[in-house]
Amino acid sequence: MRVLGVDPGLTRCGLGVVDSLPGRRVQLVAVGVARSSIDDDVDRRLLAIAERIDEWLDEQMPDVVAVERVFAQHNLSTVMGTAQVAGLAMLAAARRRIPVALHTPSEVKAAVTGSGRADKAQVQTMVARILGLAEVPRPADAADALALAICHLWRPAGALAAPQRELQAMTVAQRAWAAAEHAARRPTRG
List the binding residues: 7, 68, 141
Q: Is the peptide bond before 22 cis (omega within 30 degrees of 0)?
A: no
Dist. CA 130–CA 91, nearest whole Å: 30
Dist. CA 34–CA 17, nearest whole Å: 14
Residues annotated within the binding site for Mg(2+) are 7, 68, 141
Dist. CA 154–CA 108, nearest whole Å: 10
Dist. CA 163–CA 23, nearest whole Å: 23
Contact 57, 96 (CB under 8 A): yes
Q: Strand 25-35 relative to strand 64-68: parallel, antiparallel, unpaired? A: unpaired
Contact 148, 102 (CB under 8 A): no
Dmax (CA) for the chain in angstroms is 49
Instruction: Provide the annotated active-site residues.
Output: 7, 68, 141
